[in-house]
A = this chain, B = another copy of it.
Amino acid sequence: MKRRKFIKHLGTGSITAGAALSVPPAVHAKEQVRWKMVTAWPKNFPGLGTNANMLAKTINEMSGGRIKVKVYGAKELVPAFEVFDAVSRGTAEMGHAGAYYWKGKSEAVQFFSSVPFGLTAQEMNAWLYYGGGMDLWRELYDPFGLVPAATGNSGVQMAGWFNREINTVDDLKGLKMRIPGLGGEVLQRAGGTPVTIPGGELFTALQSGTIDATEWVGPYNDLAFGFYKVAKYYYYPGWHEPGTTMECMINKKAFNELPKDLQAIVLTACKAANLDLLAEFTARNNQALEALVNKHNVQLRALPDPVLKKLHDLSNEVVLELADKEPMAKKIYESFSQFRKQVIDWEKVSEQAYLRARTL
Protein backbone atom coordinates (compact mmCIF):
# COMPACT_ATOMS: atom_id res chain seq x y z
CA MET A 1 0.00 0.00 0.00
CA LYS A 2 2.75 2.43 0.91
CA ARG A 3 4.51 1.77 -2.39
CA ARG A 4 1.44 2.47 -4.41
CA LYS A 5 0.98 5.76 -2.59
CA PHE A 6 4.59 6.67 -3.29
CA ILE A 7 4.39 5.88 -6.98
CA LYS A 8 1.24 8.02 -7.20
CA HIS A 9 3.15 10.80 -5.51
CA LEU A 10 5.97 10.45 -8.02
CA GLY A 11 3.54 11.14 -10.85
CA THR A 12 2.94 14.66 -9.64
CA GLY A 13 6.38 16.09 -10.16
CA SER A 14 10.10 15.49 -10.33
CA ILE A 15 12.69 14.67 -7.68
CA THR A 16 15.50 17.17 -7.68
CA ALA A 17 19.09 16.13 -7.24
CA GLY A 18 19.33 18.16 -4.05
CA ALA A 19 16.40 16.33 -2.47
CA ALA A 20 17.71 12.95 -3.61
CA LEU A 21 21.05 13.54 -1.89
CA SER A 22 19.37 13.64 1.53
CA VAL A 23 17.91 10.12 1.31
CA PRO A 24 19.77 6.87 2.19
CA PRO A 25 22.38 5.31 -0.17
CA ALA A 26 20.05 2.61 -1.46
CA VAL A 27 17.99 5.26 -3.20
CA HIS A 28 20.96 6.53 -5.17
CA ALA A 29 21.89 3.18 -6.58
CA LYS A 30 20.57 3.54 -10.06
CA GLU A 31 23.61 1.72 -11.39
CA GLN A 32 23.80 -2.02 -11.29
CA VAL A 33 26.86 -3.71 -9.90
CA ARG A 34 27.66 -6.79 -11.98
CA TRP A 35 29.76 -9.38 -10.23
CA LYS A 36 31.22 -12.68 -11.31
CA MET A 37 31.36 -15.64 -8.94
CA VAL A 38 33.87 -18.30 -9.93
CA THR A 39 33.50 -21.67 -8.27
CA ALA A 40 35.55 -24.79 -7.64
CA TRP A 41 32.60 -27.02 -8.62
CA PRO A 42 31.10 -28.18 -11.87
CA LYS A 43 28.19 -25.91 -12.81
CA ASN A 44 25.05 -26.88 -10.82
CA PHE A 45 26.93 -29.62 -8.94
CA PRO A 46 24.39 -30.93 -6.38
CA GLY A 47 24.87 -29.29 -3.00
CA LEU A 48 28.08 -27.33 -3.58
CA GLY A 49 27.29 -25.88 -7.00
CA THR A 50 23.63 -25.28 -6.23
CA ASN A 51 24.64 -23.53 -2.98
CA ALA A 52 26.66 -21.06 -5.08
CA ASN A 53 23.62 -20.51 -7.32
CA MET A 54 21.39 -19.98 -4.32
CA LEU A 55 23.84 -17.51 -2.78
CA ALA A 56 23.91 -15.47 -6.00
CA LYS A 57 20.11 -15.55 -6.25
CA THR A 58 19.68 -14.37 -2.66
CA ILE A 59 22.05 -11.45 -3.23
CA ASN A 60 20.24 -10.52 -6.45
CA GLU A 61 16.84 -10.67 -4.75
CA MET A 62 17.75 -8.80 -1.59
CA SER A 63 19.46 -6.04 -3.52
CA GLY A 64 16.47 -5.65 -5.83
CA GLY A 65 18.85 -6.35 -8.71
CA ARG A 66 21.37 -3.71 -7.68
CA ILE A 67 24.01 -6.44 -7.51
CA LYS A 68 23.72 -9.09 -10.18
CA VAL A 69 26.01 -12.00 -9.45
CA LYS A 70 26.67 -14.42 -12.28
CA VAL A 71 27.93 -17.87 -11.30
CA TYR A 72 30.61 -19.68 -13.31
CA GLY A 73 31.29 -23.39 -12.92
CA ALA A 74 34.87 -24.66 -12.70
CA LYS A 75 36.74 -24.13 -16.01
CA GLU A 76 34.07 -21.79 -17.39
CA LEU A 77 36.15 -18.76 -16.51
CA VAL A 78 39.03 -20.22 -14.50
CA PRO A 79 39.92 -23.78 -13.40
CA ALA A 80 38.79 -24.93 -9.93
CA PHE A 81 42.20 -24.48 -8.36
CA GLU A 82 42.63 -20.93 -9.64
CA VAL A 83 39.55 -19.53 -7.90
CA PHE A 84 41.63 -17.99 -5.09
CA ASP A 85 44.01 -16.17 -7.43
CA ALA A 86 41.23 -15.05 -9.75
CA VAL A 87 39.32 -13.36 -6.92
CA SER A 88 42.51 -12.06 -5.33
CA ARG A 89 43.51 -10.22 -8.49
CA GLY A 90 39.94 -9.12 -9.26
CA THR A 91 39.27 -11.21 -12.39
CA ALA A 92 36.12 -12.20 -10.49
CA GLU A 93 34.62 -10.42 -7.50
CA MET A 94 33.54 -13.60 -5.67
CA GLY A 95 34.69 -17.19 -5.35
CA HIS A 96 32.97 -20.28 -3.93
CA ALA A 97 35.29 -23.09 -2.83
CA GLY A 98 36.81 -24.84 0.18
CA ALA A 99 39.67 -23.13 2.05
CA TYR A 100 41.85 -26.26 2.19
CA TYR A 101 42.45 -25.98 -1.55
CA TRP A 102 44.76 -23.02 -0.88
CA LYS A 103 47.33 -24.62 1.40
CA GLY A 104 49.92 -23.63 -1.20
CA LYS A 105 49.19 -20.03 -0.13
CA SER A 106 49.23 -20.77 3.59
CA GLU A 107 49.08 -24.03 5.51
CA ALA A 108 46.82 -22.28 8.00
CA VAL A 109 43.85 -22.17 5.59
CA GLN A 110 43.04 -25.78 6.44
CA PHE A 111 41.58 -24.84 9.81
CA PHE A 112 38.80 -22.99 7.97
CA SER A 113 37.54 -25.99 6.03
CA SER A 114 38.04 -29.08 8.19
CA VAL A 115 40.84 -30.92 9.95
CA PRO A 116 40.86 -34.61 10.98
CA PHE A 117 39.05 -35.13 14.29
CA GLY A 118 38.24 -31.42 14.31
CA LEU A 119 34.93 -29.61 14.73
CA THR A 120 31.45 -30.57 13.54
CA ALA A 121 29.39 -28.10 11.51
CA GLN A 122 27.66 -26.66 14.56
CA GLU A 123 30.96 -26.36 16.42
CA MET A 124 32.69 -24.74 13.42
CA ASN A 125 30.00 -22.07 13.27
CA ALA A 126 30.27 -21.48 17.01
CA TRP A 127 34.04 -21.05 16.69
CA LEU A 128 33.80 -18.85 13.58
CA TYR A 129 31.05 -16.49 14.76
CA TYR A 130 31.51 -16.52 18.55
CA GLY A 131 34.92 -18.02 19.22
CA GLY A 132 37.20 -15.67 17.28
CA GLY A 133 37.49 -17.85 14.16
CA MET A 134 36.13 -15.32 11.65
CA ASP A 135 38.54 -12.61 12.86
CA LEU A 136 41.46 -14.96 12.31
CA TRP A 137 40.18 -15.97 8.89
CA ARG A 138 39.86 -12.32 7.86
CA GLU A 139 43.37 -11.66 9.14
CA LEU A 140 44.69 -14.62 7.15
CA TYR A 141 43.01 -13.61 3.86
CA ASP A 142 43.58 -9.86 4.16
CA PRO A 143 47.10 -9.83 2.65
CA PHE A 144 45.62 -11.54 -0.42
CA GLY A 145 43.03 -8.77 -0.85
CA LEU A 146 40.21 -11.14 0.08
CA VAL A 147 37.28 -10.99 2.49
CA PRO A 148 36.25 -14.52 3.55
CA ALA A 149 32.82 -15.78 4.62
CA ALA A 150 31.53 -19.22 5.56
CA THR A 151 28.82 -20.20 3.11
CA GLY A 152 27.97 -23.84 3.69
CA ASN A 153 28.84 -27.02 5.50
CA SER A 154 28.72 -30.64 4.41
CA GLY A 155 28.24 -31.98 7.94
CA VAL A 156 30.16 -35.14 8.92
CA GLN A 157 31.45 -36.83 5.81
CA MET A 158 31.62 -40.61 5.45
CA ALA A 159 34.86 -42.59 5.86
CA GLY A 160 34.31 -43.82 2.32
CA TRP A 161 33.94 -46.79 0.00
CA PHE A 162 36.19 -49.79 0.57
CA ASN A 163 36.95 -53.05 -1.16
CA ARG A 164 38.99 -54.22 1.78
CA GLU A 165 37.60 -54.94 5.22
CA ILE A 166 39.08 -52.86 8.02
CA ASN A 167 39.11 -54.98 11.13
CA THR A 168 42.37 -53.89 12.75
CA VAL A 169 44.89 -51.09 12.53
CA ASP A 170 47.05 -53.44 10.43
CA ASP A 171 44.42 -53.47 7.69
CA LEU A 172 45.31 -49.85 6.97
CA LYS A 173 48.84 -50.93 6.00
CA GLY A 174 49.27 -50.85 2.26
CA LEU A 175 45.74 -49.55 1.76
CA LYS A 176 45.69 -47.59 -1.47
CA MET A 177 43.08 -44.93 -0.92
CA ARG A 178 42.06 -41.71 -2.54
CA ILE A 179 42.13 -39.30 0.38
CA PRO A 180 43.61 -35.82 -0.07
CA GLY A 181 45.05 -33.31 2.38
CA LEU A 182 45.60 -33.87 6.08
CA GLY A 183 43.50 -37.05 6.05
CA GLY A 184 45.93 -38.44 3.50
CA GLU A 185 48.88 -37.57 5.74
CA VAL A 186 47.23 -39.39 8.61
CA LEU A 187 46.62 -42.49 6.47
CA GLN A 188 50.23 -42.44 5.37
CA ARG A 189 51.42 -42.45 8.98
CA ALA A 190 49.15 -45.43 9.57
CA GLY A 191 50.97 -47.27 6.79
CA GLY A 192 48.54 -46.63 3.96
CA THR A 193 49.14 -45.07 0.57
CA PRO A 194 47.09 -41.94 -0.06
CA VAL A 195 46.60 -41.19 -3.74
CA THR A 196 45.14 -38.23 -5.60
CA ILE A 197 42.67 -39.02 -8.35
CA PRO A 198 40.14 -36.62 -9.88
CA GLY A 199 36.51 -37.31 -8.94
CA GLY A 200 35.57 -38.34 -12.46
CA GLU A 201 38.09 -41.21 -12.48
CA LEU A 202 37.24 -42.70 -9.10
CA PHE A 203 34.58 -45.10 -10.26
CA THR A 204 36.90 -46.79 -12.76
CA ALA A 205 39.84 -46.79 -10.33
CA LEU A 206 37.74 -48.62 -7.74
CA GLN A 207 36.34 -51.00 -10.32
CA SER A 208 39.74 -51.92 -11.76
CA GLY A 209 41.39 -52.27 -8.37
CA THR A 210 43.81 -49.38 -8.97
CA ILE A 211 42.68 -48.20 -5.55
CA ASP A 212 41.26 -50.17 -2.62
CA ALA A 213 39.18 -47.34 -1.26
CA THR A 214 38.04 -43.76 -1.70
CA GLU A 215 36.43 -41.14 0.45
CA TRP A 216 34.05 -38.72 -1.24
CA VAL A 217 31.35 -36.77 0.63
CA GLY A 218 28.26 -38.49 1.95
CA PRO A 219 25.29 -40.55 0.76
CA TYR A 220 23.65 -37.75 -1.27
CA ASN A 221 26.69 -37.10 -3.46
CA ASP A 222 28.01 -40.67 -3.31
CA LEU A 223 24.75 -42.22 -4.50
CA ALA A 224 24.87 -40.11 -7.66
CA PHE A 225 28.42 -41.33 -8.35
CA GLY A 226 27.27 -44.97 -8.19
CA PHE A 227 30.13 -46.13 -5.97
CA TYR A 228 27.85 -48.81 -4.54
CA LYS A 229 28.22 -50.70 -7.83
CA VAL A 230 31.99 -51.10 -7.49
CA ALA A 231 32.74 -51.13 -3.77
CA LYS A 232 31.79 -53.70 -1.17
CA TYR A 233 31.67 -51.67 2.03
CA TYR A 234 30.56 -48.18 2.99
CA TYR A 235 32.45 -47.18 6.14
CA TYR A 236 31.60 -44.60 8.82
CA PRO A 237 32.21 -42.28 10.53
CA GLY A 238 34.25 -39.86 8.46
CA TRP A 239 37.00 -38.93 10.90
CA HIS A 240 38.96 -36.87 8.34
CA GLU A 241 36.33 -34.19 7.55
CA PRO A 242 33.84 -33.95 10.40
CA GLY A 243 32.20 -30.72 9.26
CA THR A 244 33.66 -29.16 6.16
CA THR A 245 33.00 -25.45 5.78
CA MET A 246 32.55 -24.05 2.28
CA GLU A 247 33.88 -20.58 1.73
CA CYS A 248 32.84 -17.54 -0.20
CA MET A 249 35.74 -15.21 -0.81
CA ILE A 250 35.13 -11.66 -1.93
CA ASN A 251 37.58 -9.32 -3.61
CA LYS A 252 38.31 -6.74 -0.91
CA LYS A 253 38.48 -3.74 -3.21
CA ALA A 254 35.16 -4.63 -4.84
CA PHE A 255 33.64 -5.20 -1.40
CA ASN A 256 34.87 -1.88 -0.04
CA GLU A 257 33.40 -0.03 -3.00
CA LEU A 258 29.91 -1.27 -2.13
CA PRO A 259 27.65 0.93 -0.02
CA LYS A 260 27.12 -0.39 3.52
CA ASP A 261 23.69 -1.88 2.79
CA LEU A 262 25.02 -3.99 -0.09
CA GLN A 263 27.97 -5.11 2.03
CA ALA A 264 25.51 -6.28 4.67
CA ILE A 265 23.46 -8.03 1.99
CA VAL A 266 26.46 -9.97 0.66
CA LEU A 267 27.66 -11.12 4.09
CA THR A 268 24.19 -11.98 5.39
CA ALA A 269 23.42 -13.95 2.23
CA CYS A 270 26.56 -16.02 2.91
CA LYS A 271 25.45 -16.69 6.47
CA ALA A 272 22.00 -17.81 5.35
CA ALA A 273 23.58 -20.01 2.65
CA ASN A 274 25.86 -21.49 5.31
CA LEU A 275 22.81 -22.75 7.20
CA ASP A 276 21.02 -23.79 4.04
CA LEU A 277 23.68 -26.15 2.70
CA LEU A 278 23.95 -28.04 5.97
CA ALA A 279 20.17 -28.40 6.06
CA GLU A 280 20.18 -29.64 2.48
CA PHE A 281 22.92 -32.21 3.07
CA THR A 282 21.32 -33.41 6.30
CA ALA A 283 17.93 -33.90 4.66
CA ARG A 284 19.21 -35.43 1.44
CA ASN A 285 21.84 -37.66 3.04
CA ASN A 286 18.91 -39.10 4.96
CA GLN A 287 17.03 -40.08 1.88
CA ALA A 288 20.08 -41.25 -0.04
CA LEU A 289 21.28 -43.45 2.82
CA GLU A 290 17.89 -45.13 2.88
CA ALA A 291 18.15 -45.82 -0.87
CA LEU A 292 21.71 -47.13 -0.53
CA VAL A 293 20.84 -49.50 2.28
CA ASN A 294 17.35 -50.64 1.30
CA LYS A 295 17.49 -50.52 -2.48
CA HIS A 296 21.15 -51.13 -3.26
CA ASN A 297 21.93 -53.37 -0.27
CA VAL A 298 25.02 -51.45 0.66
CA GLN A 299 27.00 -53.01 3.51
CA LEU A 300 27.36 -50.26 6.08
CA ARG A 301 30.33 -50.81 8.38
CA ALA A 302 31.67 -48.97 11.39
CA LEU A 303 35.40 -48.45 11.65
CA PRO A 304 36.49 -50.47 14.72
CA ASP A 305 37.27 -48.46 17.86
CA PRO A 306 41.02 -49.27 17.93
CA VAL A 307 41.29 -48.04 14.32
CA LEU A 308 39.49 -44.81 15.19
CA LYS A 309 41.71 -44.30 18.24
CA LYS A 310 44.85 -44.81 16.19
CA LEU A 311 43.63 -42.40 13.51
CA HIS A 312 42.78 -39.86 16.23
CA ASP A 313 46.28 -40.08 17.75
CA LEU A 314 47.90 -39.68 14.35
CA SER A 315 45.56 -36.78 13.54
CA ASN A 316 46.64 -34.96 16.69
CA GLU A 317 50.26 -35.30 15.54
CA VAL A 318 49.54 -34.06 12.05
CA VAL A 319 47.50 -31.04 13.20
CA LEU A 320 50.10 -30.12 15.80
CA GLU A 321 52.83 -30.21 13.16
CA LEU A 322 50.66 -28.06 10.91
CA ALA A 323 50.64 -25.44 13.68
CA ASP A 324 54.43 -25.34 13.66
CA LYS A 325 54.71 -24.57 9.97
CA GLU A 326 53.85 -20.83 10.12
CA PRO A 327 53.20 -18.20 12.81
CA MET A 328 49.61 -17.69 11.55
CA ALA A 329 49.00 -21.44 11.65
CA LYS A 330 50.21 -21.43 15.26
CA LYS A 331 47.97 -18.53 16.19
CA ILE A 332 44.92 -20.14 14.59
CA TYR A 333 45.74 -23.55 16.04
CA GLU A 334 45.78 -22.09 19.53
CA SER A 335 42.34 -20.54 19.17
CA PHE A 336 40.96 -23.62 17.39
CA SER A 337 42.34 -26.23 19.76
CA GLN A 338 41.33 -24.34 22.90
CA PHE A 339 37.80 -24.05 21.51
CA ARG A 340 37.82 -27.70 20.48
CA LYS A 341 38.79 -28.82 23.97
CA GLN A 342 35.94 -26.90 25.57
CA VAL A 343 33.35 -27.85 23.00
CA ILE A 344 34.12 -31.55 23.39
CA ASP A 345 33.23 -31.22 27.08
CA TRP A 346 30.02 -29.42 26.16
CA GLU A 347 29.06 -32.00 23.53
CA LYS A 348 29.47 -34.78 26.08
CA VAL A 349 26.51 -33.39 28.00
CA SER A 350 24.53 -32.03 25.00
CA GLU A 351 24.43 -33.37 21.41
CA GLN A 352 26.54 -36.45 22.04
CA ALA A 353 24.60 -37.42 25.17
CA TYR A 354 21.25 -36.70 23.55
CA LEU A 355 21.94 -38.56 20.29
CA ARG A 356 23.02 -41.57 22.32
CA ALA A 357 20.00 -41.34 24.62
CA ARG A 358 17.64 -41.27 21.66
CA THR A 359 18.92 -44.60 20.36
CA LEU A 360 19.12 -46.51 23.65
- Please report A residues at the B interface, Cβ cutoff 8 Å: 1-3, 6-7, 10-17, 20-21, 23-31, 33, 58, 61-66, 117, 120-123, 125-131, 155-156, 158, 218-219, 236-239, 242, 257, 259-261, 264-265, 268-269, 271-272, 274-276, 278-280, 282-287, 289-290, 293, 300, 302-303, 305, 308-309, 312, 339, 342-360
Is the CB–CB distance between B66 and A357 below 8 Å?
no
Inside 8 A of A123's CB, which chain B residues have their CB? 282
Q: Say whether chain A's binding surface is mostly helix, strand, loop, or mixed.
A: helix
Whole-angstrom distance between the Cβ of A117 and the nearest chain B Cβ: 6
What number of copies of this chain does the assembly contain? Answer: 2
Is the CB–CB distance between A122 and B121 below 8 Å?
yes
Is the CB–CB distance between B289 and A3 below 8 Å?
no
With the chains together, A128 CA to B238 CA distance in Å?
Answer: 26
Q: A11-B17, A350-B237, A360-B308 are in contact. Are A289 and B30 (CB under 8 A)?
A: no
Which chain B residue has the least Cβ–Cβ distance from A307? B357
Is the CB–CB distance between A31 and B17 below 8 Å?
no
Is the CB–CB distance between A286 and B156 below 8 Å?
no
With the chains together, A122 CA to B347 CA distance in Å?
Answer: 14
Is the CB–CB distance between A127 and B237 below 8 Å?
no
4 new A-B contacts, CB < 8 A, other than A117-B358, A126-B283, are A10-B20, A26-B26, A285-B350, A352-B356
Is the CB–CB distance between B355 and A351 below 8 Å?
yes
Is the CB–CB distance between B353 and A3 below 8 Å?
no
Q: A28-B10, A120-B354 are in contact. Are A260 and B61 (CB under 8 A)?
A: yes
Inside 8 A of A11's CB, which chain B residues have their CB? 17
Inside 8 A of A24's CB, which chain B residues have their CB? 64-66
Whole-angstrom distance between the Cβ of A340 and the nearest chain B Cβ: 9
Is the CB–CB distance between A342 and B275 below 8 Å?
no
Inside 8 A of A126's CB, which chain B residues have their CB? 278-280, 282-283, 286
Inside 8 A of A58's CB, which chain B residues have their CB? 264, 268
